[in-house]
């Protein structure tokens, strides 16, 4: 920070921030200014440092766009400073809906409706950006992006069989049939764009004083590909009108837009063809089920808490049942 001219004197008031189970978030102050440090966990995964570098690159590219995001202050790719790559960003003045709604939002169905529609606006705006113009032309492999999806996640699921203790395969009944359907009905895909990769209610911050996004957070899975993946993921995780069936329980739910309303709102802010959005929604539920089952496989082997593994296993089964209904 001295070398970048970021204040003087000691670092003070360090607190750990909740949110994000894979990385460390610390808020602190220095010389009268607040910062948030984001870095990999204490024991980084093999890809953790490159993930931090990629996140910082995306935030840099988004700086002058209308997509709400944390403001990047500085990034350090040198792993020798803290033992890992890291970056500093400005704190976001907002709340995470998954942690509960404040009075303004909890007390107004209209505010909750606007909040939900704001999520659709966020990824519609993101998907309209030109990655080449923003210097992200080499950030991903857009050619064959949709064609790779089913095979890549099938291999992920097959890898769980290497854990002898894993007993969840039978319970995932329709997983293979859904994968076959996805392969048979895969759309052509549109022009490449930036996608967040894990877009849902727990990965946004909302302003305290209005039902609008303060920032989209947790960009570790961002890449270049088909941006409709983000809308499909949002729909796969979105509760039914009665508040059930989603991956998060937010109360009160009444007033939040329906899935069809989210699709219509996205269409209003995008020129992309949404004729095959059902396919993207099924892919989102199928892929997320496979991801969650990975935690259950680790729990079966004693490498993750058993209660968490079983809860996520149940959620994976529910997601596949949801996808099966959508396919029918």
Is the pLDDT reported for residue 268 higher than 90? Answer: yes
Which residues in the chain are classed under CATH 3.30.200.20?
12-89
| Cis, peptide link before residue 252, omega less than 30° from 0 | yes
Residue 22 and residue 218: Cα distance in Å, rounded? 10
Is the pLDDT reported for residue 153 higher than 90? Answer: yes
Closest CA to 220 of 18, 72, 51: 51
In this predicted model, what pLDDT tens digit does every residue of 52-88 receive, in sequence order?
999 999 999 999 999 999 999 999 999 999 999 999 9
Give the pLDDT band (50/70/90) at residue 32.
very high
Is the pLDDT reported for residue 19 higher than 70? Answer: no
At 167 the pLDDT is 87
In this predicted model, what pLDDT tens digit does every residue of 301-324 receive, in sequence order?
998 899 999 999 999 999 999 999
Count Cβ neighbours within 10 Å for each residue of 294-327 and write b for 16 or more, e otherwise: bbbbbbbeeebeeeebeebbebbbbbbebbbebb
At 120 the pLDDT is 98
CATH no. of 12-89: 3.30.200.20
In this predicted model, what pLDDT tens digit does every residue of 176-209 receive, in sequence order?
999 999 999 999 988 999 999 999 999 999 999 9
Is the pLDDT reported for residue 21 higher than 70? Answer: no
Sheet with 12-16, strands from edge to edge, namely 12-16, 24-30, 33-39, 86-89, 72-76
Is the pLDDT reported for residue 20 higher than 80? Answer: no
In this predicted model, what pLDDT tens digit does every residue of 211-228 receive, in sequence order?
999 999 999 999 999 999
At 274 the pLDDT is 97
Residue 55 and residue 83: Cα distance in Å, rounded? 17
Which residues in the chain are classed under CATH 3.90.1200.10?
97-327
At 168 the pLDDT is 83
Residue 111 and residue 103: Cα distance in Å, rounded? 10
> Which whole number is the average pLDDT over 22-27?
90
At 189 the pLDDT is 83
Residues in the chain: 328
Is the pLDDT reported for residue 159 higher than 90? Answer: yes
Is the pLDDT reported for residue 237 higher than 90? Answer: yes
At 125 the pLDDT is 98
Q: What is the CATH topology of the domain spanning 97-327? A: Aminoglycoside 3'-phosphotransferase; Chain: A, domain 2 (3.90.1200)
Is the pLDDT reported for residue 45 higher than 60? Answer: yes
In this predicted model, what pLDDT tens digit does every residue of 274-301 receive, in sequence order?
999 999 999 999 999 999 999 999 999 9
* pLDDT above 70 as % of the chain: 99
Stated pTM of the model: 0.94
* pLDDT above 90 as % of the chain: 91
In this predicted model, what pLDDT tens digit does every residue of 121-151 receive, in sequence order?
999 999 999 999 999 999 999 999 999 999 9
């Amino acid at each position: 920070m001295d070398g970048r001219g970021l204040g003087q004197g000691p670092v003070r008031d360090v607190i750990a921030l909740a949110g994000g189970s894979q990385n460390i978030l610390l808020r602190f102050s220095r010389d009268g200014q607040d910062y948030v440090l984001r870095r990999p966990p204490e024991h980084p995964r093999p890809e953790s440092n490159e993930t931090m570098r990629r996140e910082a690159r995306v935030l840099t590219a988004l700086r002058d766009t209308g997509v709400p995001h944390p403001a990047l202050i500085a990034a350090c790719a040198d792993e020798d400073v803290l033992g890992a790559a890291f970056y500093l960003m400005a704190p976001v003045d907002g709340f995470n809906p998954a942690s509960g709604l404040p009075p303004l939002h909890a007390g107004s169905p209209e505010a909750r409706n606007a909040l939900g529609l704001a999520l659709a606006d966020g990824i519609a705006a993101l998907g309209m950006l030109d990655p080449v113009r923003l210097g992200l032309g080499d950030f991903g492999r857009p050619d064959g992006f949709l064609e790779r999806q089913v095979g890549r996640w099938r291999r992920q699921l097959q890898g769980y069989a290497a854990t002898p203790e894993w007993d969840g395969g039978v319970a995932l009944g329709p997983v293979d049939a859904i994968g076959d359907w996805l392969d048979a009905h895969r759309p052509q895909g549109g022009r490449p764009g930036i996608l967040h990769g894990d877009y849902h209610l727990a990965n946004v911050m909302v302003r305290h004083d209005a039902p609008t996004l303060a920032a989209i957070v947790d960009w570790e899975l961002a890449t270049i590909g088909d941006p409709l993946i983000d809308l499909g993921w949002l729909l796969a995780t979105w509760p039914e009108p009665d508040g059930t069936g989603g991956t998060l329980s937010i109360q009160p739910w009444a007033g939040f837009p329906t899935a069809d309303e989210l699709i219509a709102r996205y269409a209003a802010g995008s020129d992309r063809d949404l004729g095959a959005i059902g396919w993207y929604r099924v892919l989102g539920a199928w892929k997320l089920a496979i991801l969650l089952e990975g935690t259950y496989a680790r729990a079966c082997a004693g490498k993750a808490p058993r209660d968490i593994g079983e809860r996520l296993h149940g959620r994976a089964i529910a997601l596949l049942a949801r996808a099966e209904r959508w396919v029918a």
